[in-house]
Amino acid sequence: GKAARMLREFIARYPLYVDERAKAERRLRAVGEDIAAALKSVEALASRARVARTDTAFDEAKRACEKLITRLEGDEAAKGVAKTLAELKAEQEVAARVRRNREAAEILARAKEHVERKEFNIARAECNYILLHFADTMHVGEARSILEKLPKPEE
């Protein structure tokens, strides 16, 4: 980022200072290697998050991306890291929706089992839970339909 830019400017501005130029070139290479290692680390964390599909893994990868973007301020590589960060955010949202749909499907399956066993109050509670806590999932319609078919509760 900024350090690399300053070193490049020094090398270009003072070509006659051989010793200082050599030191600046070495430092520039070291900075480049450090940035390459940080990019590789971020990619590894992103890859791990994509496989694990957990909020913890996504959050860790996103924090690493944000930290590196700040460090690379003004560098061309920051755009690639920003793109990775945006992809991670989108993938985390998708993973969360998949988890919610899976959880709602499990609750709906339990509700159906309770209906088969004639445990209507428990089935009703499970379906109401889906309607209340999983209203954004694809299982709401089926839960509502089960509720409509259940006999009215006894008072």
Q: Identify the pLDDT of residue 71.
A: 87
Q: Which amino acid is at 99?
A: R
Q: How confident is the model at residue 72 (pLDDT cuts 50, 70, 90)?
A: confident
Position 117 pLDDT exceeds 80: yes
Q: Identify the pLDDT of residue 8.
A: 75
Please return the burial class of 39, using the count of CB atoms within 10 Å of its CB with bins 0-12, 13-18 and 19+.
Answer: middle
| CB 139 within 8 Å of CB 103 | no
- List of long-range contacts for 103-112, beta carbons under 8 Å, 24+ apart: 103/134, 104/130, 104/134, 104/137, 104/138, 104/139, 104/140, 104/143, 105/139, 107/134, 107/139, 108/139, 108/142, 108/143, 108/146, 111/143, 111/146, 112/146
Q: How confident is the model at residue 111 (pLDDT cuts 50, 70, 90)?
A: very high
| CB 152 within 8 Å of CB 136 | no
Q: Identify the pLDDT of residue 88.
A: 96
Residue 131 DSSP label? H
Position 96 pLDDT exceeds 80: yes
Give the C-alpha separation, 109 to 117, whole Å. 13
pLDDT tens string 27-51: 878 888 888 999 999 999 999 999 9
Q: How confident is the model at residue 16 (pLDDT cuts 50, 70, 90)?
A: low
For the chain, how big is the Rg over CA atoms in Å?
27
At which residue do the structure tokens 């299982």 appear? Answer: 139
Q: Identify the pLDDT of residue 27.
A: 82
Q: Which residue has the higher pLDDT, 51 or 7?
A: 51
Q: Identify the pLDDT of residue 155.
A: 59
pLDDT tens string 79-94: 999 999 999 999 999 9
Question: What number is the average pLDDT over the span 82-109?
Answer: 95
Question: What number is the average pLDDT over the span 99-110?
Answer: 96
